[in-house]
Amino acid sequence: MKHFTSFIIPCYNGARWIGEAIDSIFVQGLEVSDFEVVITDDGSTDNSKDVLEKYKQKYSNLKVVYHGKNIGVYSGAMAFNTCVENSKGDLIFALDQDNYLPPDTVSKMICTLDEHKWDMVCTERVKFFRGEKNEEGNYEYGYKGDWIYKICEEGYIGLRHILTHTIAPSHDGNYLYTRESFDRAGGYPDSIVDCFGFGLRQAFHGCKMMIAFGTYYWHRVHPDSAWVTNSPDFKNEKAIAERLREFPQIFSGMVRAYLNSGGNFEDIGRKTEEHFFLF
């Protein structure tokens, strides 16, 4: 099946690494006429604009949208949504500004999507590496174990998997999905866990994900990454809890009643021994 793919990248003070992300898109085994790159700069205060304008000259199918000021109060969600609004692909690949793709990864993911007819496709692995190069000019890989995704018993990754596993593709957000699944989900929520919230919305609305086995992408870990800066005081965990409140139907009866009455997640363990979710 013939597709047009939109690669979307939210940018905020991303001058240091976004070039690697962009260049990696152009070695994905796709004809230039079959994809575009859409980047939204969310009011960067570094020299991101200079870098992005240079890449616009380098690649004719790259588009940059400028918010003018930072409107993503908690995250890159508003920039993600702006990217989609300014894109035209029937398929969308979301890539963070500080990550990058090995060659031919996305072409394999598109083949997997066509084969299984699901709504989303993720890589099998996420390979973490340190953000800074060592003295030899290389990145350090292997200091943290890979994330390896597995298909659950239903034969795909869906709502049950997201709610019952500590790692899931929605947690990192760098995957391929259909525009139709974006529309069903209603876009990215403005939250520090924007990707988790978006993936949860997709799964809640019945979207299903398949793994492109044998593929991976490179995930950079550095002190300025959103997950690291939000880790103190359990900000990420609290934000995940708030995103779950968006879908009271997923909770078992007593838990749902308790949350609806204004209770919080921290107290649930002391209030009931009932299963948390309807799974």
Are 133 and 264 in the same domain? Answer: no
Higher pLDDT pick, 165 / 116? 116
Q: Are residues 204 and 68 in the same domain?
A: yes
pLDDT at 77 over 50: yes
* pLDDT score at 275: 46
Mean pLDDT, residues 6-20:
95
Are 72 and 122 part of one and the same domain? Answer: yes
Q: Does the pLDDT at position 86 exceed 50? A: yes
Are residues 142 and 31 part of one domain? yes
Check the CA dihedral 84-88-94-99 and report its sign.
negative
Query: Which range is least confidently modeled, 31-35, 85-89, 233-237?
Result: 233-237
Q: Could you give the angle at which helices 48-58 and 18-25 cross, rounded to 10 degrees?
A: 20
203 and 253 share one domain: no
Number of domains in the chain: 2
Cα atoms in the Cβ-side hemisphere of radius 13 Å centred on 117: 0
Q: Does residue 268 surpass a pLDDT of 60?
A: no
Q: What average pLDDT does this structure show over 173-184?
A: 96
CA-based angle 25:30:31, to the nearest 5? 115
User: Which helix (H) or strand (E) covers residue 237, if one does?
Assistant: helix 235-244
> Model confidence over 244-260: pLDDT tens digits?
666 665 554 444 454 55
207 to 2, 169, 170, 215, 270: CA distances (angstroms): 21, 13, 12, 21, 34
Shared domain for 193 and 279, answered yes or no, is no
Q: What is the CATH number of the domain that holds 166?
A: 3.90.550.10
Shared domain for 106 and 182, answered yes or no, is yes
Of the chain, the percentage scoring pLDDT greater than 90 comes to 52
Q: Token pair of 38, please? A: 């859409």
Mean pLDDT of 15-43: 96
- pLDDT, one tens digit per residue, over 193-205 is 788 889 888 988 9
Tokens of 135: 């003295």
Domain check: are 227 and 204 in the same one?
A: yes
CA 81 to chain centroid = 12
Provide the domain limits for residue 232.
5-246
pLDDT confidence of residue 277: 46
> What's the pLDDT score for residue 271?
44
The region of weakest confidence among 14-18, 133-137, 234-238, 242-246 is: 234-238
Is 275 in the same domain as 204? no
| Most confident option among 115-129, 153-167, 220-234, 254-268 | 115-129
How far apart CA 141 and CA 196 sit, in angstroms, is 25
Burial grade of 33 (CB within 10 A; 0-12, 13-18, 19 or more): exposed
Residues 199 and 269 grouped into a single domain: no
Judge if 258 and 242 occupy the same domain. Answer: no
pLDDT digits (tens, 9 = 90+) for 92-145: 999 999 999 999 999 999 999 999 999 999 999 999 887 666 655 566 776 567
- Are 252 and 138 in the same domain? no
- Binned at pLDDT 50, 70 and 90, residue 274 comes out as very low
